Structure 1
Amino acid sequence: MKLLYIANTLTGAGGLQRVLLLKAGYLAERMGYNVTIISANDKPGKQIFYPVSPLLNCIDISPAKPDRITYFKSYAKLLNESINAVDPDVIIMCDNGLKSFLLPFILKKKRKLVYERHTPKIVKIKNASGNALKSFTDTLLYRFMDYSAAQFNKFVVVTQQGKSEWKSKNLDVIPNPLWFDTDEVSNLAAKRVIAVGRHAYEKGYDRMFTIWKQVIDKYPDWTLDIYGDDNPDYNIRQLALDSGLTNGVNFLPPTKNILEAYKNASIYLMTSRYEGFGMVLLEAMACGVPCIAFNCPVGPAEIISNNEDGFLIEDGNTDAFTKSVITLIEDKELRSQMGERAKTNSRAYNLDVIMQQWDALFKSL
């Protein structure tokens, strides 16, 4: 069976790229699928960050962007040409952008379609203003998204909470798989806290720095390491300074050896305003690191068992979040107990188990 994935980008160092390449490689190497991935928004010359199976065929069709209308016309043309050349049995859309919802309407030939949705329906949270015009346009947008979602043969989300956002009858829930299996775990002795993610508004670094300032005022010998690419449009280094943090925070680039970073940490922090899944939580837990996260839409509540393998905090309550960080700093035994449970609970996301669900879905179409 021929599968064709469509992604916004393959070169990023985010969870979506890692999971997509992992699953596509598994399908090709271990299940015998013929798999192609099209990326539509990669920068020229930029290399793919994560390992790529030699059995995968990766095609970059990224059109020029002189303006939005020209871009979409070029995107539709190049996409149809590539699809016709591959002639897949199933097309899987993995682009979380709004253009992904246009797929059923721009195809020249009817094909079996699957949408694999990795982000919540809240697509304009950054610019939320609460005014009447925005409310009206959002209503129209969400109605179009619902209508488009119903045109796919299957619409797959990664959490049960995410499923509740959609009205289609073609919904399935298949969580992201854990991409590694390790018996090595952190000893949780280092005075080191970690966060991993791109530098963006939705990741809530402003909230993280408010929390961390209170923590290191009490425990100045602890450090926070943040892994992620710098973003000139969202300068988190300046946010840290604005929060009064002149030390106690290290800004580090993405690393292909992120497991070592987890294994040398004692606590993981997530202060996101929203998540599609929260893959980094699962990664940290698999390394025996207890996590603290805001109960934001839509992933953390389905990964963290509150007070068992970590803490799930009322969204936006930075004081409660700070108290939980301090609790884990002060109580090494509690850190160890939560870390052990985190490791155990992470096994529910075993790669083989998750990929059997995808295999069954494709064969059911």
Structure 2
Amino acid sequence: MVYHNSINYSKNSKKIKIVLIIGDIARSGGTERSTINLANMLISKHEVVVVSLSENRPVFFELDQRVTLDFLSMKPMTIKLTSKIIWYIEFFSKMKKTIARHKPDVIIGEGHNISGVLPFVKGTEKIKKIACEHIDYDSIPLLSRVLMKIGYSKLTAVVTLSTIALNKIKHLNKNIKIIPNSLPFFTEAVSNVTENTIIMVGRLSQEKGYDRVVPIAKKLLNEFPHWRIKIFGNGDKEMELKKLFKNEGLDNVLFFSPVKNIVDQYMAASIFMITSYNEALPMVILEAQHCGLPVVGYFCEGTQALIKENITGYVLDNEDDFYEKLKKLISNQDLRLKIGGNCKMESLKYSPDMILKKWESLLS
């Protein structure tokens, strides 16, 4: 669903050219979804180019046809120092040519590996450069933080997703703005929360904490055998996780590949669960709340920012409390409906029109 905004621009408002730079726009993760959302919003007023450092392949989320896509065919950065050095040499070379080709007025870097070195790309001296930070600062390696401290101070602005995140990085730049992710879709419908289904959506990777699901699923299987956990996602831990749950005999946990129309899956669930060790502002929580699902999550930056305790869900820091809140929701459909209704109302704060106004204010 491509967004069409309802903002009335003045005749004097200036159209500019914006280049968004991201590691791999084709992936199905939250950073990719939020970047595509932003491109789809900005294209209604400006010229927008999305530069993906990756190989050219089909984009998972729907991108407005007016947005230009430019793939640089770079290999992913690895953890080896020599690989990082080679990667950055190639990055500077290709980025210099890319900037000269597109001649943007504004460059928006998605993530610290890109944004931290933007000021040092030749040809960008007179161009506005903005970092958009999508992950919890506490999870960023020390060396990367050093590079951020050097590079971010030279940027025009830094965009962060919440007040919590701002307080962690306020030392990096004098012009830091809070602009949350926007809802990627709008629906008037909400789940009737009658299905015996808990849904999880996200990349199958270490930081998402799917190992925490095992003890929860065991308790569910014993106490609520008709309930199931559906996990939508893929990633480097996929085979390992599937084997883990199979070996534990947890046939109440079902894995599915990412789907483009995730709304249908939210509507067919009654509770949203997130077990990540760290998150900034998870798109999946916004999506689930907009579909009227109460949210239960482990404590981290993102859950703390998006979940209002006892109003839109619960944020816990230990397994026993986590399960007790799940049990409370499973046992009480009226409570699920009440909290789900609160979630729907809260989600409207992240409507595309409201978020776009914040971006236009920064870009003007």
Is 1:212 matched up with 2:212?
Answer: no
- Which residue, out of 273, 276, 293, partners 2:280? 276
- 99 and 362 in structure 1: CA distance in 2 versus 1, 3 angstrom threshold: closer
Q: Which residue of structure 1 aligns with residue 271 of structure 2?
A: 267
Q: Do 2:193 and 2:337's aligned partners in 1 also have CA atoms closer than 8 Å?
A: yes
Distance in 1 separating the partners of 2:156 and 2:331: 51
Q: Deviations over 1:316-365 (max 9, x none)?
A: x01110111111111111111111111111111111010011011000xx
Q: Deviations over 1:113-143 (max 9, x none)?
A: 0001111113357xxxxxxxxxxxx2x5433
Q: Which residue of structure 1 aligns with residue 66 of structure 2?
A: 55
Q: Which residue of structure 2 aligns with residue 223 of structure 1?
A: 228
CA apart distance, 1:103: 1.6
Q: Do 1:102 and 1:148's aligned partners in 2 also have CA atoms closer than 8 Å?
A: yes
Quote the RMSD (CA, aligned, Å): 1.8
Matches within 5 A, 1:1-365: 1-29=16-44, 32-40=45-53, 42-44=54-56, 46-64=57-75, 67-94=83-110, 96-110=111-125, 111-123=127-139, 138=142, 141-166=144-169, 167=171, 168-231=173-236, 235-241=240-246, 244-296=248-300, 298-314=301-317, 317-363=318-364
CA apart distance, 1:179: 1.4
Q: Do 2:205 and 2:237's aligned partners in 1 also have CA atoms closer than 8 Å?
A: no
Distance in 1 separating the partners of 2:270 and 2:144: 42
The TM-score with structure 2 as length reference comes to 0.89
Amino acid at match of 1:13: S
Matched positions, count: 341
- 234 and 358 in structure 1: CA distance in 2 versus 1, 3 angstrom threshold: farther
Distance in 1 separating the partners of 2:285 and 2:137: 21
User: Partner of 2:20: helix, strand, or coil?
Assistant: strand
- 239 and 160 in structure 1: CA distance in 2 versus 1, 3 angstrom threshold: farther
Q: Deviations over 1:189-248 (max 9, x none)?
A: 000010000000100000122222212221111010000014257721123245x24310
- 65 and 188 in structure 1: CA distance in 2 versus 1, 3 angstrom threshold: closer
Instruction: Give percent identity, aligned residues only.
Output: 28
Q: Which has the larger displacement, 254-263 or 97-106?
A: 97-106
Distance in 2 separating the partners of 1:37 and 1:65: 17
Q: Which residue of structure 2 aligns with residue 131 of structure 1?
A: none
Q: Which residue of structure 2 aligns with residue 133 of structure 1?
A: none
Distance in 2 separating the partners of 1:191 and 1:313: 22
Give the gaps of 5 or more residues in structure 1.
126-137
User: Partner of 1:11: helix, strand, or coil?
Assistant: coil
Q: Deviations over 1:79-103 (max 9, x none)?
A: 1101111111111001x25343122
Distance in 1 separating the partners of 2:205 and 2:74: 24
Give the gaps of 5 or more residues in structure 2.
1-15, 78-82
The TM-score with structure 1 as length reference comes to 0.89
Distance in 2 separating the partners of 1:206 and 1:14: 19
Distance in 1 separating the partners of 2:161 and 2:76: 31
Q: Deviations over 1:35-91 (max 9, x none)?
A: 111011x245x3101111111111000224794433321221111101111111111
